[in-house]
Amino acid sequence: MPDSQKYEIPSTPISFRLSRASLGFIFATVILAALTGFSTYKNIRRGQNLMEQFLLQKGETVIRSIEAGHRTSMMHHMSEGNPLHTLIIENIRENDIAFIRIVNEKNSVIDETASLSVSKLSAQQIDRIIRTGRPVTELHSELRLFTVSDLFQPKNQGQDTMMAGSYRMPSAGTPNDQGKQFISIGLITDEFDTARKQDMQHALFMGGILFLIGSVGIYFLFLYQAIRVAKSTLTDMKLYTDNVIESIPTGLITLDAQNRVVSCNRKAEEIFRRTKEEIQGKTITETLPGCSFNCRDICNTDVDLSDEFITDDGRHIPIKISGSCLTNNEGRAVGTVLIIRDMSSIREMEQQLERSRRMVALGKMAAGIAHEIRNPLGTLRGFAHYFGSRPEANEESKSYANLMISEVDRLNRNVSGLLQFARPREPQFLPVDLDELLAKTAVLMESDFANHGLNFHWQRNTGITVFADPDLLLQVLMNLIKNSIHATPPGGQISLTGSESEQNIRISVSDTGSGMNDHEREKMFDPFFTTGKTGTGLGLAVSHQIIEQHQGVFEVETASGKGTTVTLVLPKRKRNDDGEKKTGNDSAGR
């Protein structure tokens, strides 16, 4: 595995997706930009055309005025100098006229106001004017000039001489008899250029606004996508951490700075026997009544602290607690996280292990004692029978002899119980009809119920089949019922029921007797422990041993003065030593 490989929390891939509002915004922005660009282009073109039309009209007006003025001057001021040049000078005084130039067909200058860099008419332009009879225009952007060129006609058609008595030869430079003449006027376009520049600035300003709006829109689109990704990542992170916390097999709770519960996982709810909503906002002492630990001490130690809290129903639950401080990004403590483990099952396992260890030791001892006692007991019983049966024995001697025999028999039964406990019989597993087993138990114990004045109820038609040793299982049920009979006063009730789940079969013996306290509950399966005046105290110890051979367990629910329910929990199939389940045919064939 390469060192550079990174492992990340599983997350949901987020594709770039636009909402309808975003698509609408982008579409509107594009359409608005296109309309604005088209409108700006149309305005600029319209302004250009209006400028050219206006300057063309103005140029033609100036040309016609020069023609008319020249005609008039020829009629009334012939003796004076060059009237055409005077007219040109007078017209050029207007601020928006840059130059006036008159040329002939050979493109030779007849008259002009100033020598500018604007080239004279080309042959093509002259030919176009002659051919179309319309003026020719040209825009010189670098000089900011608009030229209008047209045919110059200072005389009327057919007029070769002036009126009689007033004829004079034209002076030098006078346009006369020089063929066709052409006039060019250069109009300054500064005002139009300024207006066009303002239009361009306005267009750029509007384009900048649209660009800004579009940029902001795109920014918000990417921001929206980033928010979606962050939200999805946070959701995945929350689900991941929630699943991790909920799957922890120990209770986890978080506290704020005032040691009030903020959150807890499902296991903690099971330990507290309360829901998260019921404990949120409560202090840790209210949540775990009876505990004496301090959160500061827990955070300052690496060792799990053992404690015990009391549930609402009065049960004492042993727990182990560890914890650590929660800090913010500034390193300040803002709360505490506590890990709580329910030690009830572990404690029960420890007690069961200790009980098994003691039973093994006791069994070995009992086997030795029973072996050493049974032979002397047989001898004592034989001598007691011999002395009681002698002819010379009186009634008193016979009664003593019979008492000795009964006591030897009682002692022998105890020794037999010890032997059974020390060397239990290997169970023979068979499919057992639970209905038949319960019915047989009821028949065998019927007289006991009648003698003690008890009501007995047993469940019928369960339809359950259990794989067990029928004789040993019957012995266990009879031992449990006998204990219930001794603990239940006359008029009480004893019940025998059965049920099954997917994995187990449960057989319960319930009574309405005196029940047991915690000490009696803890010692009930110990050998020789009994609360009655009669009995050896081996019945439940042997029963416990038999159920262990069946790989089952006992469940006990009891309380002083509230009766007792003892439940046998047996697997549906016997397990072999490897822990694998045997099939019904295999179990039946053993």
Q: Which class for 484: exposed (0-12), middle (13-18), buried (19 or more C-beta within 10 A)?
A: buried
Q: How confident is the model at residue 506 (pLDDT cuts 50, 70, 90)?
A: very high
How many domains, the chain? 4
Q: Are residues 337 and 354 in the same domain?
A: no
Q: Are residues 466 and 554 in the same domain?
A: yes
CA distance linking residue 386 with residue 393, whole number of Å: 10
Per mean pLDDT, which range of 129-143, 183-197, 522-536 is the poorest?
522-536
Per the structure, the complete domain to which residue 302 belongs is given by: 249-342
Q: Is the residue at 200 inside a domain?
A: no
Residue 379 is predicted with a pLDDT of 78
**pLDDT one-digit tens code per residue, 226-265:** 887 888 888 888 888 778 777 788 888 888 888 888 888 8
Please list, in sequence order, all residues whose beta carbon lies within 8 angstroms of the beta carbon of residue 361, skipping any fewer than 6 positions away. none
Please list, in sequence order, all residues whose beta carbon lies within 8 angstroms of the beta carbon of residue 348, skipping any fewer than 6 positions away. none
Q: How far is CA 248 from the centre of its chain?
A: 18
Q: Are residues 370 and 466 in the same domain?
A: no
CATH label of the domain that carries residue 278:
3.30.450.20
If you average pLDDT over each of 21-35, 294-308, 406-420, 461-475, which comes out highest? 461-475
Q: What's the whole-number mean pLDDT along residues 328-354?
A: 80
Let me know how long the chain is. Answer: 590
Residue 577 is predicted with a pLDDT of 44
Beta 316-327 vs 333-342: how paired, if at all?
antiparallel
Cβ atoms 340, 319 nearer than 8 A: yes
44 has a pLDDT exceeding 70: yes
Both tokens of 366, joined, read: 């009992």
Q: Are residues 497 and 373 in the same domain?
A: no
CA distance linking residue 402 with residue 147, whole number of Å: 160
In DSSP notation, 201-242 reads HHHHHHHHHHHHHHHHHHHHHHHHHHHHHHHHHHHHHHHHHH
Residue 21 is predicted with a pLDDT of 67
What letter represents residue 33's amino acid? A
Q: How confident is the model at residue 80 (pLDDT cuts 50, 70, 90)?
A: low
Tell me which of 422, 455, 484 is where a domain ends: 422
Q: Residues of 286-325 as b/e, b for ≥16 C-beta within 10 angstroms? A: ebbeebebebeebbeeeebbebebeeeeeeebebbbbbeb
* DSSP alpha helix (H) spans, 105-248: 123-132, 190-247
Q: How confident is the model at residue 569 (pLDDT cuts 50, 70, 90)?
A: very high
Please list, in sequence order, all residues whose beta carbon lies within 8 angstroms of the beta carbon of residue 496, skipping any fewer than 6 positions away. 438, 441, 442, 456, 457, 458, 459, 477, 481, 507, 508, 509
Q: Are residues 481 and 572 in the same domain?
A: yes
Q: Is the residue at 218 inside a domain?
A: no
What letter represents residue 228's amino acid? R
164 has a pLDDT exceeding 60: no
**pLDDT one-digit tens code per residue, 272-315:** 888 888 888 888 777 778 777 777 767 777 767 778 878 777 77
CA distance linking residue 479 with residue 473, whole number of Å: 10
Cα separations in angstroms, 90 against 84, 405, 496, 503:
10, 169, 138, 123
3-state SS, residue 267: helix
Cα separations in angstroms, 507 against 180, 465, 552:
136, 12, 11
If you average pLDDT over each of 113-117, 190-194, 510-514, 536-540, which comes out highest? 510-514
Q: How confident is the model at residue 497 (pLDDT cuts 50, 70, 90)?
A: very high
Q: Is the residue at 494 inside a domain?
A: yes
Cβ atoms 342, 272 nearer than 8 A: no
The better pLDDT of the pair 512, 573 is held by 512
CATH label of the domain that carries residue 441:
3.30.565.10
Q: How far is CA 75 from the centre of its chain?
A: 104
The better pLDDT of the pair 446, 362 is held by 446
Tell me which of 366, 401, 422 is where a domain ends: 422
Q: How confident is the model at residue 11 (pLDDT cuts 50, 70, 90)?
A: low
Q: Residues of 33-67 as b/e, b for ≥16 C-beta within 10 angstroms? A: beeeeeebeeeeeeeeeebbeebbebbeebbeebb
Q: Are residues 369 and 477 in the same domain?
A: no
Tell me which of 342, 371, 392 is where a domain ends: 342
CA distance linking residue 321 with residue 454, whole number of Å: 48
Q: Is the residue at 393 inside a domain?
A: yes
- Between CA 477 and CA 489, with CA 483 as vertex, the angle to 5 degrees is 125
Q: Is the residue at 209 inside a domain?
A: no
Both tokens of 239, joined, read: 């689900």
Q: Are residues 447 and 581 in the same domain?
A: yes
Q: Are residues 492 and 462 in the same domain?
A: yes
Residue 17 is predicted with a pLDDT of 63
463 has a pLDDT exceeding 50: yes
Q: What's the whole-number mean pLDDT along residues 149-162?
A: 62
**pLDDT one-digit tens code per residue, 371-404:** 667 677 777 778 777 777 777 777 777 787 788 8
Residue 508 is predicted with a pLDDT of 93
Q: Are residues 532 and 434 in the same domain?
A: yes
The better pLDDT of the pair 418, 432 is held by 432
Please list, in sequence order, all residues whose beta carbon lies within 8 angstroms of the beta carbon of residue 51, skipping any fewer than 6 positions away. 146, 189, 192, 196
Both tokens of 234, joined, read: 């946070």
Q: Residues of 393-416 as b/e, b for ≥16 C-beta within 10 angstroms? A: eeeeeeeebeebbeebeeebebbe
Q: How confident is the model at residue 570 (pLDDT cuts 50, 70, 90)?
A: very high
Per mean pLDDT, which range of 208-212, 365-369, 574-578 is the poorest?
574-578
Q: Which helix (H) or strand (E) holds 120?
A: none
DSSP class of residue 380 equals H
Residue 116 is predicted with a pLDDT of 63
Q: Are residues 122 and 75 in the same domain?
A: yes
Give percent above pLDDT 90 in the chain. Answer: 6
- Between CA 99 and CA 105, with CA 104 as vertex, the angle to 5 degrees is 130
Q: Are residues 36 and 132 in the same domain?
A: yes
Q: What's the whole-number mean pLDDT along residues 92-109?
A: 80
Residue 173 is predicted with a pLDDT of 44
Q: Which long-range contacts (CB under 8 A, 24 or more apart) does 231-238 make?
A: 232/11, 232/12, 232/14, 233/11, 235/12, 236/9, 236/10, 236/11, 236/12, 237/9, 237/11
3-state SS, residue 505: strand
Per mean pLDDT, which range of 6-15, 274-283, 347-356, 395-404 is the poorest?
6-15
Q: How confident is the model at residue 122 (pLDDT cuts 50, 70, 90)?
A: confident
Q: What's the whole-number mean pLDDT along residues 86-106?
A: 79
174 has a pLDDT exceeding 50: no
Beta 493-500 vs 455-458: how paired, if at all?
parallel
- Between CA 564 and CA 569, with CA 565 as vertex, the angle to 5 degrees is 150
Q: Are residues 480 and 546 in the same domain?
A: yes
Q: Is the residue at 242 inside a domain?
A: no
Longest dimension (CA), the chain: 214
- Between CA 241 and CA 248, with CA 245 as vertex, the angle to 5 degrees is 140
